[in-house]
């Protein structure tokens, strides 16, 4: 009985060569162990290859970054020409340029998120500066939350410069501040706690 047990254990661990004549249980145990190893290797291979699905959002974010950069650049040139021709006032130009700066920032963030997803799931050995290294999905979330806060602040600034009605401006300011505070809380207490 002891010989038979050690034979089965050896077959399951697949690390011990058995030199004794094989009994039926030993052969069955070896076959079962081989089968399990094959299934595990196949599942491991499939799981490893599915990470390339993230190439789709990487490409999408990259295309969005390029499209936003080009369209914002074209808009900036158009507004500059209109200002030079005297068709746009200085106040409107100021609001437009602030919004364009925000759009350019968003384009850069989309690019960083594209590279970040690529480095997280596909190839971690991309040659990037240390400040641009993204090691977790929480780093990407934090980046996105920061951009949302900046976009909202720029929107409020645009309403302020345009001379929105005071009561409307108050409501916009309060709602913007509430969302930014909620985002800051999310970053500090939710995302940061994941990293600890």
Summarised one tens digit per residue, pLDDT across range 54-81 is 889 999 999 999 999 999 999 999 999 9
78 in a structural domain: no
Q: What is the pLDDT of residue 57?
A: 92
14 in a structural domain: yes
Q: What is the pTM of this model?
A: 0.65
Mean pLDDT value across residues 16-27: 59
82 in a structural domain: no
109 in a structural domain: no
Confidence class for position 131, pLDDT limits 50, 70, 90? confident
Furthest CA-CA distance within the chain? 100
Confidence class for position 148, pLDDT limits 50, 70, 90? confident
Under 8 Å CB-to-CB from 194, ≥6 apart: which residues? 136, 138
Q: What is the pLDDT of residue 64?
A: 97
| Residues of the domain holding 192 | 136-196
144 in a structural domain: yes
């Amino acid at each position: 009985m002891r010989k038979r047990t050690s034979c089965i254990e050896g077959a399951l661990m697949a690390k011990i060569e058995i030199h004794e004549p094989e009994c039926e249980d030993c052969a069955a145990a070896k076959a079962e162990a081989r089968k399990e190893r094959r299934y595990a290797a196949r599942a491991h291979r499939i799981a490893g290859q599915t990470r390339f699905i993230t190439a789709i959002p990487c490409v999408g974010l990259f295309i969005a970054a390029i499209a936003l950069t080009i369209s914002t650049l074209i808009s900036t040139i158009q507004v500059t020409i209109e200002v030079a021709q005297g068709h746009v006032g200085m106040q409107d130009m100021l609001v437009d340029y602030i919004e364009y700066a925000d759009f350019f920032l968003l384009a850069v963030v989309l690019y960083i998120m594209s590279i970040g997803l690529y480095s997280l799931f596909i190839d971690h050995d991309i040659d990037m500066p240390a400040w641009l290294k993204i090691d977790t999905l929480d780093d990407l979330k934090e980046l996105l939350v920061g951009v949302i806060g900046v976009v909202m602040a720029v929107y409020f600034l645009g309403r302020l410069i345009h001379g929105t009605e005071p009561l409307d401006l108050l409501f916009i300011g309060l709602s913007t501040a509430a969302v930014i505070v909620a985002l800051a809380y999310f970053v500090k207490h939710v995302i940061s706690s994941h990293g600890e």
